[in-house]
Amino acid sequence: MVVWYAGFITLIGAITAIIIMMWIASQHRPKKQAKEIKKKIYGVRLWYILSLLSVFAILLIFTLSFLPYYQNQKKTPDLAVSVIGRMWDWQFSSSDNASNSIKRDSNGTIILPLHKTIEFQVTSKDVNHGFGIYHSDGHLLAQTQAMPGYINRLVYTFDEPGEYTVLCLEYCGLAHHMMHTRFKVE
């Protein structure tokens, strides 16, 4: 929906710019009149900039109070998963009490629930890492930074069962390319 609105606004902006350019082209006059027209156009430009600035200022005032956005999400997560990145692997554990602990299959692979809102609480034990969740077809689904001394919250709902891969998205040393893990959703 947001993408649709952004596209619509861009289209309106482009059409407006074309109309203005066509109007300017139609105003071709001898040099004497050019000065006057220039003044007029600069006036229009000034009002255009001022109106844009006021729209942005209003949007800013109304949306700044929602930061950080994850705290304003109405859906409370069904499951909180703690993720710790360190050179060079990922550790998953349950952030909730023991009764809610993370399921694993017989091979020790983590199993996360389907259609449930999961909050990944991501941090790092050493340097900055990038926590990226990939679909089995190679698409990046969600990502956040894993930073020492700071917990980043990544909320995601898996609507497709299958195997997902976690890759490090921040170069973090010699074995950075080895820093990956997998989990299942079912």
Distance CA 168, CA 143 (A): 9
Taking CB under 5 A as the binding criterion, the range among 28-36, 52-60, 149-157, 166-174 that sits at the site for Cu ion is 166-174
Distance CA 140, CA 132 (A): 7
R_g over Cα of the chain: 25
Taking CB under 5 A as the binding criterion, the range among 72-80, 108-116, 119-127, 160-168 that sits at the site for Cu ion is 160-168
Q: Which is nearer to Cu ion, 84 or 172 (CB)?
A: 172
Q: Provide the minimum distance between the beta carbon of 86 and Cu ion in the complex, in angstroms, as a whole number.
A: 10
The closest alpha carbon to 168, from 123, 122, 129, belongs to 129
CB atoms within 10 A of CB 123: 19
Taking CB under 5 A as the binding criterion, the range among 71-79, 104-112, 158-166, 170-178 that sits at the site for Cu ion is 170-178
Q: Is 168 in the site for Cu ion (CB under 5 A)?
A: yes
Q: Which is nearer to Cu ion, 169 or 185 (CB)?
A: 169
CB atoms within 10 A of CB 1: 5
The three-class DSSP label of residue 165 is strand
Q: How many residues bind Cu ion (CB under 5 A)?
A: 5
Q: Work out which of 86, 153, 176, 180 binds Cu ion, going by CB under 5 A.
A: 176
* Contact footprint for Cu ion (CB under 5 A): 129, 168, 172, 176, 179
